[in-house]
Amino acid sequence: MEIKEEEKRFTLSLFTENKIGLVNRITIIFTRRKMNILSLTTSESELKDIYRFTVVIKTTASQVAKVVKQIEKQIGVLKAFYYEEEQVIFQEIALYKIPTKALFGGETIEHIIRNHYARILTVEEEFVVIEKTGHEHETQELFEALKPFGVLGFVRSGRVAIPKPMRKVMSYLQELEDLAYSLDN
Amino acid sequence: MDKTKPEMTTLLNTTTMYQPSGKTLISKKNISGAEAVILSLIAEGVDTIFGYPGGAIMPTYDALYHYMDQVRHLLVRHEQGATHAAQGYARVTNKVGVCFATSGPGATNLITGIADAMIDSTPMVCITGQVTKELLGTDAFQETDVVGISMPVTKWNYQVTSADEIPEAIAKAFYIAKSGRPGPVVIDITKNAQNEMMDFEYQKCEKVRSYHPYRKLDEAKLDEAAEIINNAVRPYMIIGHGILISEAQEELKAFAEKTGIPVASTLLGLSAFPNDHDQYVGYVGMHGNYGPNIKTNECDVLIAIGMRFDDRVTGDLNRYAKQAKVIHVEIDPSEIDKNVKTDVALLGDAKEALKSLIGRVKEKTYPEWLAEFAACDAEEKRKVIEKDLAPTTEKLKMAEVVNKLSELTEGKAITVSDVGQHQMVVSRYYNYLETDSNVTSGGLGTMGFALPAAIGAKVAKPDRDVVAIIGDGGFQMTLQELGTIMQEKVPVKIMILNNSFLGMVRQWQQLFFERRYSFVDIESPDFIMLAKSFGIKGEQVSKREDLETGLKNMLASEESYLLEVIVEKEDNVFPMVPTGASVTDIRLE
Ligand SMILES: Cc1ncc(C[n+]2csc(CCOP(=O)(O)OP(=O)(O)O)c2C)c(N)n1
Ligand SMILES: [Mg+2]
């Protein structure tokens, strides 16, 4: 009997070329295995023209290893890594839109903002936008606290993550180059 | 430009994402993108294209008109046929098969063949026309998102929207399709790109920075593998398509003969190792031979080369080769530990791996171990083969037909089998003595594959006998390609094994659904008359005494020939590993 493996959250860090269609190529790998993507963000990395995807998925350790190899196999993907929660520093950002009049109901809102280490981004005539960075449960807590004042809008970004291991991506890429082999040799 | 960021391009010593060879093969000033397509193909050494024209690819067809003396184009009767023909071509040559199709329905008709090429690692480049750039995304006439649709079934795909991208895109396409683990590539070219003028210069692609098709073999792992092999008591080798792809037949033979290890093959590995070799023990899988299946669970070392442990090979993974140390020689890193956990993974080209191993292994023989396989063979012979080959039934059996074909062609024909019972019978009873002789749809199991694939194989290898062996069901899926055979005068031999059933499905219904024959009873047209209407000669054989003559007539024909053999209706293919069962539980009856 196989022991049923436990599902955990994994953060994938994918380094890619900046190419049209790559997001699609990567996401269909999850779709095909009926895996849900919890979040996905992408931006240029520390290397020029090289993009970093941060993908969060919940799955088993053996499945994540296979999926990451499938991703790395895609042309346009330079290197793919995966990490468990303890191996990455990660954050999300959330924006909250609440009615301006809520500010004038005493000190409560100010307290809430301060206690949650959030900040006001803008004050308009009708609404205020508050920003908070943190982990999902923290941005959620602020959402719950603001609820009584009437949240007009709420949005949370995908996770961005920096892995703890000190080795640079570049060295991995160099290693791949070194391992590359030409059959004409 | 952001100067603060390090540029990886300079660090990795590549100037662009793709690296041209630096050698200009062809150059020509002020030509259309369409002409650039053709010249690019010529620069890649393409001599054959399978295709079908239409609005969005007309400029390219117009350019082709001027190069008809340099490239042969075969007009298929359905774009699916183009892909399978290109696959047949690729499988017997290891060259890249090439297809042309128009946008929309032309391109969507390619999808089955592309998926087939993907799962069976077949190098193919499909060039599709696309609506003009300005119309993209407007639901224009015959617009479909071909890049989107083909993405999951291509190794790479790319849309070209301006003429100057053409040479680079095609160079990259060929490089990617052919190298490493081969696969299909789609290049979708908008009409404006085909019409625009450009200065053409073609350089082959030698490198794509995010793609590492070959790896240097790890010396330590080679040592480790050799040590395991040298200490093995019951070593066993299963070879796959990878041997044919890396052209490692000689190295395999030398390695096998030095080590004395028994060799079995997967369905797609057939013909990579001669069937009459003393160490050849047969073929593995659901309908494979008895010994090779059960011995998988009795060996102490399993050396898998260029195969991917498909579920049709392994059966229940929890009861597959658990006792064995597994050495997996594989070019695709994502295949390592995907299905079967390996003890030593040799990541790299099969040929290189065998070359590197041979000096490290000891000369050995395993007479007793081989005798165990022989004992299994004897049992299979008694319980299955004898009944198959010397039947007491009045009706012919597929096995005796294939066996006779094998005898008459001395095991030297290229067999192109379709999908179903007859396919399993071909792989069981054709006695392959020459390499690159087995073309079939393995991973996808595409009915309708064989007729067009045989066209491609015959065009590529005109000097060899190419026999398509097809069921009555599968033949009706792509029979329109008789038109291609007629027009292009491709002398393929077609053998229909007619059991008046979708036999393989019927077999399952009989065995696992208590004989509830749900829509497997299939009627056929008069195949001989049908062939005749395409100008193809043919005959029908139903009696044992006419079989040899019928086969001889077919083989002797200078032109294409269709032989319909009426076989036993409710015959079953055995041995069989039922789905979900272990290879140990293989049934002989
Ligand atoms: C395109 C496609 N549709 C359906 C199937 C499922 N299928 C597998 S074998 C088979 C029966 C094939 O019948 P036939 O071509 O007469 O060959 P036989 O098994 O009788 O030799 C079918 C329907 C398939 N493999 N491919
Ligand atoms: Mg049939």
Contact between B115 and B153 (Cβ < 8 Å): yes
**What pLDDT does residue A4 have?**
80
What average pLDDT score do residues B255-259 get? Answer: 98
* Chain A CB contacts of B219 below 8 Å: none
Dihedral sign for Cα atoms in the order B464, B470, B474, B480? positive
Pick from B151, B215, B336: CB nearest A25:
B151
**What pLDDT does residue B25 have?**
84
ipTM comes to: 0.90
Residue B13 has pLDDT above 50, yes or no: no
- Quote the tokens at residue A17: 């070329």
Residues 6+ apart with CB under 8 A from A61: A5, A8
Q: Is B191 a catalytic residue?
A: yes
Q: How much distance in Å is there from the Cα of B506 to the middle of ligand 1?
A: 9
Q: What 3-state DSSP class applies to B260?
A: coil
What average pLDDT score do residues B441-448 get? Answer: 98
Q: Looking at CA atoms only, how far is residue B510 from chain A in angstroms? A: 31
Q: How much distance in Å is there from the Cα of B417 to the middle of ligand 1?
A: 12
- Quote the tokens at residue B480: 């329109």
**What pLDDT does residue B258 have?**
98
Report the CATH fold assignment for A8-88+164-179. Alpha-Beta Plaits (3.30.70)
Predicted confidence band at A2 (pLDDT cuts at 50, 70, 90)? low
**What pLDDT does residue A106 have?**
73
- Which amino acids bring their CB within 6 angstroms of ligand 1? B 418-422, 445-448, 471-474, 497, 499, 501-505
Q: How far apart are CA A7 and CA A168, in angstroms?
A: 28
In CATH, which of 3.40.50.970, 1.10.390.10, 3.40.50.2300, 3.30.300.130 is domain B394-567?
A: 3.40.50.970
| B90-130 pLDDT, tens digit each | 999 999 999 999 999 999 999 999 999 999 999 999 999 99
Looking at the CA of B397, name the nearest ligand.
1
Q: Spell out a b/e string for B472-511, using b for 16 or more CB atoms within 10 Å of the CB, else e.
A: bbbbbbbbbbbbbbbebebebbbbbbbbbbbbbbbbbbee
Residue type for B581, please?
Answer: A
Q: Pairing relation of β-strands A88-99 and A153-156? A: antiparallel
* Chain A CB contacts of B332 below 8 Å: 73
- Quote the tokens at residue B94: 């290891």
What average pLDDT score do residues B578-584 get? Answer: 94
Pick from A66, A73, A183: CB nearest B332:
A73
Cα radius of gyration (chain A): 21
* Among the listed residues A58, A61, A65, A67, the one whose alpha carbon sits nearest the alpha carbon of residue A30: A67
| B40-62 pLDDT, tens digit each | 999 999 999 999 999 999 999 99
Q: How far apart are CA B188 and CA B166, in angstroms?
A: 10
What average pLDDT score do residues B506-516 get? Answer: 97
Residue nearest ligand 1's atom 9 by CA: B420
| B162-186 pLDDT, tens digit each | 999 999 999 999 999 999 999 999 9
pTM of the model: 0.95
**What pLDDT does residue B416 have?**
98
Dihedral sign for Cα atoms in the order B177, B183, B184, B187? negative
- The residues spanned by each domain of chain B are 10-203, 219-372, 394-567
Ligand 1: atom nearest CA of B420 is: 19
Q: Pairing relation of β-strands B344-347 and A88-99? A: unpaired
- DSSP per-residue letters across B303-326: EEES----HHHHBSGGGSSTTSEE
What average pLDDT score do residues B521-545 get? Answer: 98
Residues 6+ apart with CB under 8 A from A135: A90, A91, A92
* The one catalytic residue among B35, B79, B251, B335: B79
Q: Is B79 a catalytic residue?
A: yes
Report the CATH fold assignment for B10-203. Rossmann fold (3.40.50)
Report the CATH fold assignment for B219-372. Rossmann fold (3.40.50)
**What pLDDT does residue B10 have?**
42
Residues 6+ apart with CB under 8 A from A9: A38, A56, A57, A58, A84, A85
**Contact: A183, B212; criterion CB under 8 Å:** no
| B308-350 pLDDT, tens digit each | 999 999 999 999 999 999 999 999 999 999 999 999 999 999 9
User: B177 to chain A: nearest residue by CA?
Assistant: A75
* Chain A CB contacts of B160 below 8 Å: none
| A92-130 pLDDT, tens digit each | 999 999 999 988 877 788 899 999 999 999 999 999 999
The rounded mean pLDDT for chain B is 96
Residues of chain A with CATH 3.30.70.1150: 90-160
In CATH terms, is domain A90-160 a member of 3.10.105.10? no
